[in-house]
Amino acid sequence: MIEEILEYNKAFVSGKKYEQYITSKYPDKKTAILSCMDTRLVELLPAALGLKNGDVKIIKNAGGVISHPFGSVVRSLLIAIYELGVEEILVVGHTDCGVQGTNSAEMISRMKERGVSEKMLQMISYCGVDFESWLAGFDDVYASVEQTAELLRKHPLIPGDVKIYGFVMDSVTGELDPV
Ligand SMILES: [Zn+2]
């Protein structure tokens, strides 16, 4: 797969296909989007929202969630707000998310099958990491989006004038449903 990607990349650069994407680091729509890494949203999310290169900051992870209030997602949003002029944040979950119903016990047993030792897992829990809840998915995407949006609205480092919205996107049609 990597050979194919590198070959395409060479042709892309030499053919100057990048010219149509040239823009700045400042988001023209002053908006940041927190969403899921789902493959169906790679092109669908920007297409369904009419977004082009340079319009928004997009932060993605499994489920579009915030695992830690002072973790990398919030850090990225703070930089987007204070350094790059973002005034609105959209939390966009989606239907049929892979994280929905993720079973942490099953994932842990797969880790063991692939060589992670019981001792290692115990050590992680002794270090105070609630491993199971860190890995766990959510049951209801609407509740997850609402919880994430609420966390951002109440976050002590996010200014009150930043508008926070929550949506669930249909993974097939791209339709946004407000939460
Ligand atoms: Zn997802």
Cα-to-centroid distance, 5 and ligand 1 (Å) = 24
C-alpha 7/C-alpha 167 separation (Å) is 38
Give CA torsion, residues 38, 140, 73, 46, to 10 deg. 40
Cα-to-centroid distance, 45 and ligand 1 (Å) = 12
Continuous segment of H or E residues that includes residue 104:
helix 104-113
Cα-to-centroid distance, 41 and ligand 1 (Å) = 9
| Confidence (pLDDT) at 131 | 80
Report the chain (179 residues): mean pLDDT per 10 consecutive residues.
97 97 96 98 98 98 95 98 98 95 87 94 85 86 97 98 98 98
Cα-to-centroid distance, 14 and ligand 1 (Å) = 35
| Confidence (pLDDT) at 128 | 83
C-alpha 149/C-alpha 154 separation (Å) is 9
pTM summary value: 0.93
| Confidence (pLDDT) at 26 | 96
Tens digits of residue pLDDT in 76-102? 999 999 999 999 999 999 999 999 888
Cα-to-centroid distance, 124 and ligand 1 (Å) = 26
